[in-house]
Amino acid sequence: MADSSSTVGELFKAKAVTDEQVNAAVEAYLKDPETRAYPIADGYVLDLAAAIAGHGWASSVVASPEISLGFKRGAVWTAIVLARAQKT
């Protein structure tokens, strides 16, 4: 069940967040890595910059110029799904 500090993955399982919303968050981060209060779903926000910075593997992947954009998308997607969203 979703609560005030659910992970995005938990919200996804509860059908409070869609695949499209997660993908839009990934693209928002890739467009602007400083994005803070991103509305991930109705009533929930996610600090995208902190979500990726707090996930060591994802932050190192996005920082590497040798890694493909597709692989970076996957790393950002993983970090976002594992991050805790805040209820607004």
pLDDT tens-digit map of 4-25: 689 999 999 999 999 999 999 9
Burial class (CB in 10 A: 0-12, 13-18, 19+), 19: exposed
Evaluate whether 17 touches 11 at the Cβ level (below 8 Å). Answer: yes
pLDDT tens-digit map of 27-79: 999 999 999 999 999 999 999 999 999 999 999 999 999 999 999 999 999 99
Enter the pTM of the model.
Answer: 0.92
Give the model's pLDDT for residue 5.
Answer: 80
